[in-house]
Copies of this chain bind each other. A is one copy, B any other.
Amino acid sequence: MDSDQAAPSSTSSRPRVAVLGARGRLGSAICAALRESAEVDLVAELGSADDLGALLERQAEVVVDVTTPDAVMANLEFCVGHGLHAVVGTTGFDAERVATLETWLADAPGVGVLLAPNFSVGAVLMMRFAAQAARFYESVEIVELHHPGKADAPSGTARRTAELVAAARREAGCPPVPDATTSELPGARGADVDGIRVHGLRIRGMVAHQEVVLGAEGETLTIRHDSLDRSSFVPGVLAGVRAVPTRPGLTIGLEHVLDLD
């Protein structure tokens, strides 16, 4: 079976979607939601032991990869090589991996890959709004709150938000945030990510929450995202699945498929 056969048919109203990593917690939640969705046709749910050939047998058009950093590159080489679009939620893409992926895509015109390290539309909006607002405020700090079983602090989303805020401020020529602290109990002022302070709370009963606090003379702006359930990732996955066949080449970040402005 060659890639022509697997290419999306323009007459198909619902994309034929496969999920890789379908046995994981995120993957099984996505499968459950795609099965219910009237927008897509879920044709394959593959775990790590399954053969990728099933993607071709079942004529998948778009592949959602929520596997692991170890598995994702081989999966993408297969998909791109066989003309399958991919929506990738797996993290761990450094510059080298991105370059490799772009080489593969150069040989597969018409194939689209979306790297979406965060499928949550709300988290993406929070990061975007924070970056847009950052240059209007003297002060910005980030507070993230998660369940106490989380191993890393701060969260990846908090770290990423701080980087985006810092970049937006550098671009706008903002001075450093003001801070007159001279006497600090170690850790009281949080972690420093590119000059932006980030604070991580670990609280039983919490799931995944983040607050970006911005302040200027006489006013503050707070953007808060509360994620309570994996079901919140489904709209982001669906937006990616809808968009990726129409975006050949590599797209990094869910924000580009949300039609913001």
Contact = CB atoms under 8 A, between A and B. Distances in A.
Contacts of A126: 221
Nearest to A137: B204
B201 A197 contact: yes
B178 A148 contact: yes
Contacts of A183: 151-153
Nearest to A181: B153
Contacts of A206: 215, 220
A151 B231 contact: no
Interface stretch (A51-59, A89-97, A186-194): A186-194
Q: Taking chain A's interface residues, is the majority helix, strand, or loop, or is none over half, making it mixed?
A: mixed
Nearest to A154: B188
A167 to B, nearest CB: 15
- Counting every copy of the chain, the complex holds 4
How many A residues touch the partner, as a band? 35 or more
A68 interface: no
B181 A191 contact: no
Interface stretch (A73-81, A98-106, A128-136): A128-136
A226 interface: yes
A125 B132 contact: yes
A219 interface: yes
Contacts of A149: 178, 180
B220 A216 contact: no
A23 interface: no
A218 B205 contact: yes
B218 A227 contact: yes
A199 B202 contact: no
Contact of A235 (B136, B185, B191, B224): B136
Name, among A121, A197, A226, the residue most crowded by chain B CB atoms within 10 Å (CB to CB): A226
7 contacts: A132-B261, A153-B184, A188-B190, A188-B191, A204-B215, A205-B216, A217-B234
User: Shortest 8 CB-CB distances between A and B: which pairs?
Assistant: A218-B232, A218-B229, A219-B232, A203-B215, A205-B215, A188-B191, A218-B231, A148-B178
